[in-house]
Amino acid sequence: MDHLAAPLPALMVRASRVCSFFMTSPVRVSALLTTTALVTTSTAAFATPMEMTHQPSAAAAHHISATHKGSGHVHPHTHGATSDSMEGMHHDHGPAHSHTAEQITVTHHHTPAVMQAERRLSRIPGGTSVIDASVMLRGRSATNADSFKYQAGVFAQAPCGSDDLRISIRGSGIQTGLNATRSGILFLFDGLPLTTPIGTVNELQEPLGIKYTEVLRGGNGFDYGSLMLGGAINYVTNTGYDTQTYQARVEAGSFGYVKEQLSSGKVIGKHDYYLSVTNSYRSGYQENTKSTNFGVNFNYGYKFNDRVDNRFFFRYRQTSEGNPYYLTRAQVAQNPKQAQEPYRYWGTKTIEPGTKYAADRLSIRVDDNSKIMLGFVYMNAPMDHELGNTSSLYDIDYASAVLSYQRHDKLFGHQSDTDAGVYTTHDLHATIENRVRRSQAYPNVPFGALVTRSHLGGSDNIFHVSNNTELFHDFWLTVAGALDYSPRSGSQTYPEKSRFSQDALYFSPRAGFRYVINPHIQVYGNVSRSVQPAQDWQYLSGSLYTSGIAQGLTKDWAMLKPQTATTFEVGTSGEYAGTQWSLSYYHSAVRNELLSVMTPTSQLYNNATYGNASPTTHQGVEFALHSTLYQWSGNIISLRQAYTYQDFRFNHDPVWGHNHIPGIPQHYYQGELHLDLKNGFYAAVDAEVASSVLASYNNQYRAAPYHIYNFNMGYQWPKKHRQVYLSFHNLANKHYATGVVPVYGSGNAQPSALLVGDGFGIFAGISVGFD
């Protein structure tokens, strides 16, 4: 891999909010999952971003019924599960035979909306899951990483305990984990794009106010318009149909942590609204990790009639987060609370002064068998990254749109669903300025003086169509294809002028099958082609200025090729004797993988180097189990487990040979033993275990393996919207690194490349709601 064989000119990643450029590693899953909520199903068949309620059948998704009485409450608006047009849009089609082949009854509770989402996603011939937000609300909800607990195949971390989300699925964005934007996964709010050509911003992903989250791994995110290696994640927001009229929540605990939420939702005739206001503060476990956040989440819906409705969304969030940078393995073991020298004295931090997201979604049910959805998004995301000698100031506006059409038919007497859609997102205005931050580095230059100015331009335009047909009883075939046109351009106008432009048009096919062996077991398989252009700022990865005020910063653009991959996946899901499972194996042949590396120069100037790797291979296993061990008189003891195996390596690279790609642990396990009593008391103990994480491309330097234990207990008043909880994190006060930022090699000294995980902490919370 010649691009990473020796230090390259660095790319300006004005980014790293908490610690720059780290690839995802183990998921912190300290808060506890209860049996009364989320059951993650990695299932099969065909799914779409919109739903149309069908009649259940042998070919319909396996259904998870709510029979556990000691579960989280179901909100009083009984029509909430189907009120929003984005929910319940796909037919439960099937023949008239008496038994429902895919109906699987288990004792774990879900709200109607979550069960509906599970039915829809279960038609995808591959790995998917639905995360019920009510599970997270039984413990600490400090960061969005808390939302992704127990998701096999998903690595989500809150670096240095911050509000940022570092996430990877199947190695997606393996080197783009801690800059200002996420890479390799398409993120959406309520089926509308959050991801843009610059990536996915972190700050809007506040977990409070979310009803549930859909995770579609790899090519299984196709029907949302995702052609990325990691797939798609869709956050579905609360509306007035499924919340209390008034609700208040307060959390507090170690490291100066305090978080507050006030929310309100109501249905008024044909109108409904939901409003959530959050505020949080954390002084930090590690030096220089203070963070503050304030956000607003609002939506308003109007039902014109039974076939047409509209919903407007608005989000606003401002954040400020300190950056401790990285430590060596020895420093993590001895004193993980310290920050890196000399940055600990420089007040390094990232400020998002106010990101605004406004969107509108119109849904039209044309007839009983077809539906159209049209959506528009505008987003403004200013950023100020004060991380080195200069401040990197972003001024960026985006516009996105989605058009989706779904139809259910009978094709030669066979049940058939067809989906077609257009996904498009554009940079309207994108300017990045570097200005003098440290006068010591620029002794004869005024503070705040302009050092460089760059302009970005790009768009992603995807047309996709797919069909899912029951060829014969309980055997479904999915065929699909997409066109992706993703031009990129950029120019630097100060202190010198340079520019680039690039066009790319790709076709991505997909095919899959799903076979229901019996009412409790199904198998699936698929093959898909992914395409991922570089984020527009990553192209600024050419040579460096060697003199003048901009010395050390990036000067030229690199002509990066889009990353492509062909992925095969096989798996099974089902339920037997009180145990529900999902198991997937995938193998991806990746070409032109986008990788980066950190050097002392790139860290000092908030740059990173990006390049296309020689051919690489990603393969892994995603395995989840949820077992009811014992139940009596409405009480339940259950065991939940998730294991992820990941093997990412080079193929015959001229420099790195068959080395593993650094940044992610090869083995990661999470297990939780949970007690849920019918009187409302619950308790759980869980373990998080990770193998060592390679931190260098020569595979000679790595973070130590770790295992941490957590305990959570609480009480939820039966049939009332009142809850208290108490959580203990990292009971043994283990010193460990949550992940790494890859370097070339370690030499004779340990490089500073590790990110610190929190020590022992105690957290408590209370939530009260009423109508």
pLDDT for 230: 95
161-165, 186-190, 500-504, 574-578: least confident range:
161-165
Angle subtended at Cα 643 by Cα 642 and Cα 646, rounded to the nearest 5 degrees = 140
Segment 115-144 shows an average pLDDT of 88
Token pair of 158, please?
A: 């809150």
318 in Cβ contact with 355 (< 8 Å): yes
pLDDT at 418 over 90: yes
Structure confidence by residue, pLDDT tens digits, 151-161: 999 988 887 77
Segment 489-494 shows an average pLDDT of 94
Q: How many CB atoms lie within 10 A of CB 576?
A: 10
Segment 611-626 shows an average pLDDT of 96
Segment 584-605 shows an average pLDDT of 91
pLDDT for 271: 97
Token pair of 422, please?
A: 């257009």
Token pair of 509, please?
A: 């096919």
pLDDT, mean over the chain = 85
258 in Cβ contact with 244 (< 8 Å): no
Structure confidence by residue, pLDDT tens digits, 198-218: 989 888 999 999 999 999 999
Structure confidence by residue, pLDDT tens digits, 512-565: 999 999 988 999 999 999 999 999 989 988 889 999 999 999 999 999 999 999
With cut-offs at 50, 70 and 90, classify the pLDDT of residue 26: very low
pLDDT for 176: 59
Structure confidence by residue, pLDDT tens digits, 721-737: 899 999 999 999 999 99
CB burial of 547-561 (b: ≥16 within 10 Å; e: otherwise) equals eebbebbbbbbbebe
Structure confidence by residue, pLDDT tens digits, 665-700: 999 999 999 999 999 999 999 999 999 999 999 999
Say how far apart CA 226 and CA 486 lie, in whole Å: 13
pLDDT for 377: 98
pLDDT at 224 over 90: yes
Cα 273–chain centre separation = 26
Which part of the chain has CATH 2.170.130.10?
A: 112-235
pLDDT at 509 over 50: yes
pLDDT for 542: 87
pLDDT for 436: 95
pLDDT for 379: 97
178-187, 362-371, 419-428, 436-445: least confident range:
178-187
242 contacts: CB under 8 Å, gap ≥ 6? 75, 77, 80, 81, 83, 111, 113, 211, 265
pLDDT for 481: 97
pLDDT for 144: 80
* Length of the chain (residues): 771
The reply to whether CATH 2.170.130.10 applies to domain 112-235 is yes
With pLDDT > 90 as the criterion, what percentage of the chain qualifies?
69
pLDDT at 32 over 50: no
pLDDT at 112 over 90: no
pLDDT at 95 over 60: no
Q: Which CATH number fits domain 236-770: 2.40.170.20, 1.20.1560.10, 2.170.120.12, 1.10.357.10?
A: 2.40.170.20
Say how far apart CA 513 and CA 524 lie, in whole Å: 6
Segment 264-274 shows an average pLDDT of 97
Say how far apart CA 398 and CA 386 lie, in whole Å: 23
pLDDT for 110: 61
Which part of the chain has CATH 2.40.170.20?
A: 236-770
Structure confidence by residue, pLDDT tens digits, 36-59: 333 333 333 333 333 333 333 333
pLDDT for 8: 37
pLDDT for 91: 38
pLDDT at 6 over 60: no
331 contacts: CB under 8 Å, gap ≥ 6? 338, 752, 754
Which range in 25-39, 67-81, 123-137 is most confidently predicted, on average pLDDT?
A: 123-137
With cut-offs at 50, 70 and 90, classify the pLDDT of residue 771: confident
pLDDT for 18: 32
Say how far apart CA 306 and CA 447 lie, in whole Å: 60
With cut-offs at 50, 70 and 90, classify the pLDDT of residue 105: very low
pLDDT for 33: 32
